[in-house]
Structure 1
Amino acid sequence: MSMSIQGKSAIVTGAARGVGLAIARHLTERGAQVMFADSDEAALNSVVSDYEDDQSQVRRFAGNMSEKLAMANLLSATLDAFDRVDILVNAHRFVKDSDPLDTDMDTLEEMLRQNLMASLRLSQMVAKRMIKQAEGEGPASQTGAIVNISTLAARRPIPSMLGYSIACAAQEQATRGLALALAPHRIRVNGVSFSSVMSHELQCALKEDPDKRAQIIAGTPLGRIAPADELAETVHYLVSDGARFVTGQIMTVDGGRSLADSVTAQIL
């Protein structure tokens, strides 16, 4: 089974911190050319400065990942830098509390725009480019791979984050739908749903409430919080030829937490 992604070109959104950063770094270390994309320009510049000596492999793009113009500019910048795009990882997430008894439409629409429509629209743009650049290649070749990152909030609703839970569930269904639509073009679309992983949001939550760490560990059958690097390894598998017959799947990386009984526990 080949896990090589050497020479592949990738876009990773949400790449300035947390899970997105871990994925972008992992793909870079495995030989891919990676465009680190995020809305936080200062944080993005800080992390990409580590790769200043090798701009042939790493570039950065700062922009609002929920705006169509920014998406188009991101794709254009990637093609200018690497000539093609083989991999897209939608790791950008927008997490915000919402009142389950009064989820106003503005909040819900923002959750859907940031967490569903952003990844869906960028996937559509990138898929069109993948199809175009694959013209003339053999029918057995892989055109491209797309991975969407979500959390267990999609299946284990969090009452205090109802809008985010709805958006995550919608994104996972979009993953399945795109997988079917793009399969004839040899583009694979999968998702990774996580919990008990040290995301940026979880880091912030633990700073505010250190006792939450013990609660999460107690609710995780494997008894620990995983570093984001372990989630990145799953993404690596999904975008490699090792997963060339895998599409439309939502892989769960949570140490068994989704098997536990607690429904209302915070899942980040």
Structure 2
Amino acid sequence: MTQHSDSTPIGLLTGKVVFITGASRGIGAAAARLFAAEGAAVVLAARSTDALDQIVKQIRADGGTADAVPMDLADRGSIRAAVDRVAQLHGRLDGAFNNAAAIQQPGPLDTTSDEDIDLQFTVNFRAHWTAMTAEAELMRGTGGGAIVNTSSIGSRRANPALPAYGAMKRALNSITETAAVTWAGQGIRVNGITPGGTATEMIDAWEAATPGIKAQINASSPTGRMAEPREVAEVAAWLLSDRASMVTGAIVPVDGGAGA
């Protein structure tokens, strides 16, 4: 299958203020660049502000609008403060891409540590709940908006290699659907995406812990390869745009057919 090539921007997000978590690397960094190229004013959040500053400089050099805010997903106050900073910078929020996540130490269910379970709950579930409620509150003030949560192909089936990660991502799917129904009348759409194997630093870390996992992921995909971060970000961009105005409560696979 032909490798993906960067698309020509069409102004898909022109005039929108979009908040992106986990924006310092991988899918989040790709989304930052893509959303800005598509016309959004982006506010980028992550713990690694040095990496964020470099992305902000690149976007501004290309004529885009970008700012960086520090955020720790394990700290609910930090999450709310980051969303408050969006309000201070722009006075509104039109889109949010909740993409940040933590990977667990790979291993079977009965050897997964309590610490790993706690981390997965804190970062991959509770943090998204906190972020979504803060984002929705800001969106209500200006007529609504759209939220996209990054889940995982591992949430859609048994996940013996990453059981706590898969469980919390499945829980994320549930609150994504619930939020979509709860907030639809307020003009807020909420969707999720479930990427399959994606060529990010997270996969590199998994490969280091479990050599051969990249080859296994490639072999499991009908495309014979992992996604590039930009390919996943493209789907999030569409879901955040007005082109997806009737799409809410969807959990969209972005896995090259691996889950089919």
Q: Do they fold alike, i.e. is TM over 0.5?
A: yes
> Aligned partners of 1:235 and 1:16: how far apart in 2?
17
1: CA distance, partners of 2:233 / 2:160: 28
Go from structure 1 to structure 2 and tell me whether the alpha carbon gap of 1:18 and 1:56 turns closer, same or farther (over 3 Å shift): closer
Percent of paired sites with the same residue: 28
Matched position secondary structure for 1:92? coil
**In 2: Cα distance, 1:216 partner to 1:27 partner:** 28
State the match for 1:162 in structure 2.
163
- 2:248 counterpart residue number: 247
Alignment correspondent of 1:34: 42
Alignment-derived partner of residue 266 in structure 1: none
Q: Give me the whole-angstrom Cα distance separating, in 2, the residues matched to 1:209 and 1:169.
A: 23
* Native 8 Å contact 2:183 2:189 kept in 1: yes
How much has 1:119 moved relative to structure 2?
0.9
2:139 alignment partner, one of 102, 105, 130:
130
Alpha-carbon distance, 1:222 to partner: 1.6
Structure 1 position 8 matched with structure 2 position 23: no
CA distance in 1, matches of 2:126, 2:209: 30
Structure-1 separation of matches of 2:68 and 2:61: 14
Residue 80 in structure 1 maps to residue 66 in structure 2: no
Question: How far did 1:153 drift?
Answer: 1.1
- Partner of 1:258, secondary structure, is coil
Q: TM-score, normalised by structure 1?
A: 0.86
RMSD (Å), alpha carbons: 2.1
Structure 2: gaps (5+ residues): 1-9
5+ residue gaps in structure 1? 135-142, 260-268
Letter in 2 for 1:112: F
Alpha-carbon distance, 1:52 to partner: 4.7
- Counterpart in 1 of 2:185? 184
**Letter in structure 1 aligned against 2:109:** P
2:28 is the alignment partner of 1:48: no
Cα drift, residue 175 of structure 1 = 0.4
After TM superposition, the score normalised by the length of structure 2 is: 0.89
1:196 aligns with 2:204: no
Closer, same or farther: CA 67–9 of 1 in aligned 2, 3 Å: same
1:19–1:200 contact (8 Å) kept in structure 2: no
Secondary structure of 2:53's counterpart equals helix
Q: Given residue 50 of structure 1, which amino acid in structure 2 is its aligned partner?
A: Q
Q: Does the 8 Å contact 2:203/2:214 carry over to 1?
A: no
1:79-158 correspondence to structure 2 within 5 Å:
79-97=87-105, 99-134=108-143, 143-158=144-159
Question: In 2, are the aligned partners of 1:3 and 1:237 still within 8 Å (CA)?
Answer: no
> Which amino acid is the alignment partner of residue 173 of structure 1?
S
Give the length in aligned residue pairs.
Answer: 250
Change (3 A) 1:107 1:204: closer
Secondary structure of 2:72's counterpart equals coil
Partner of 1:166, secondary structure, is helix
**2: distance between equivalents of 1:125 and 1:213?**
36
| Structure 2 counterpart of 1:59 | 67
Give the whole-Å Cα distance in 2 for the aligned partners of 1:168 and 1:43.
Answer: 26
